[in-house]
Structure 1
Amino acid sequence: MYIVSEPRLLSDGRNQEIAREEAAVYPPGYLRFLQRFGEGTYRGWMNVQLPDTEVLQPFAEYGLWEHDEDSPITEQQIAECITIGTTVDGDFLAVHPKTSGLLWLPRHEERIKAISLQAREDDEDLYAEVLDEIYRQVYGRSQEEAVYYEPWTGTRSHLFLRLPPVQDGLSLPELAGVCQAAFPSDLSIETPYVCLLFYREMGGYVRFNYAYQQEVAVFYEQDAEQAFAVMEAWLLSKGCERIS
């Protein structure tokens, strides 16, 4: 698994709290993953977060999901759930102290889903596999791109640019290819919608948003200003413009 930047480790006090948590309540490797990599975003999809016993409490009164005899929890039990992750689309991943398995509380669907996992050894590296299995069960397909994790460092900066359409100018995919040739990346991910070029010296990556056709974004750590400045100057020289 590629780690985008140096993880922001948990405080000693939070580590001690996690050590006292009842590991059997959580999916395999979850607590140890947090201790090793800290909070962050997995594969641009799932926000891996510290256990939160409060965030779902108000949802027990909202009537967002249907409940019947096949529901894994009652509406009242939503308030007792412990959230351990959220997707970038606003779905919740949670556990309930008296319910085995994981709970998926979708933002845009009406039924809570129970996610069952095969028994696994409690190893932090395996939590990535757990998240991949959750993705398969929820979306019915696998993610084929490289595996990466983006720790929440609190020192991440970003710059947004656009590549305006110019006759005989570079397209966004062409610009991404030229960038990869000029600055060979440590990891690259390309889909029909986006190209990500990761650079350890920046503690971040350059994102070419094919879906929006013109957007380029640079994410970097604040202590990597020199590497960022070189990348910014290069992108500007290729016709990109800063977005104010």
Structure 2
Amino acid sequence: MTPVRVLLVDDQPLIRAGLRVLAADSPDLLVVGEAGTGEEALDLVPRVSPDVVVMDIRMPGMDGIQATAALTAGASGARVLILTTFDDDDYVYAALRAGASGFLVKDMALEEILGAIRVVASGDALIAPAVTRRLIAEFARRPEPPTKRRAVGGLTEREREVLTLVGQGLTNAELAARLHISMGTAKAHVARLLAKLEARDRVQLVIVAYEAGLVGRTG
């Protein structure tokens, strides 16, 4: 089995060291490089060809959001996982809009972070329900909605319902229970939404739901 090639980008050497040491014991993961700034990361990517870039947000010089936008606009094909802390909520939306496939919380166990890398490398998105709901709660607290709502034409009534529920952070199992459908049908609905809306992953569906005004706001 070809290991997942990982680039670690964080200005804290201890975090990089912890992930590197743990990954060394995982035959399916290979750390191919480390960087302490966004600029260093962009310089390394074409040379080490990572599958997944674990990217911190707050770094000197080019931050993780800027680096993510530059990376996803390129041709490397690498997927980005943002490293964040709970007080980084204001940055998360911008990071996902920049093209990140998900985000990790820094106080997660290192083993959980490695598991998240595997999830993203497989083509899925890291969108843990509890974290998704925190993100949606942040959207709801924003004083103003998006300046221009995104059109989501071409969806059936059921697909709009599913998109709204995905935007609220429901998992496929929760979708199935809420809509009284099978797990397979729930997965099929999500797959059709990804195709129709040209979304990369479930994270992007959350953003579409918010930008289309389908996610309820508070206050």
- Structure 2 length-normalised TM: 0.26
Higher percent of residues as strand: 1
- Structure 1 length-normalised TM: 0.25
Q: Which has the higher contact order (CA 8 A, sep 6+)?
A: 1
Give the number of the structure whose alpha-carbon radius of gyration is greater: 1
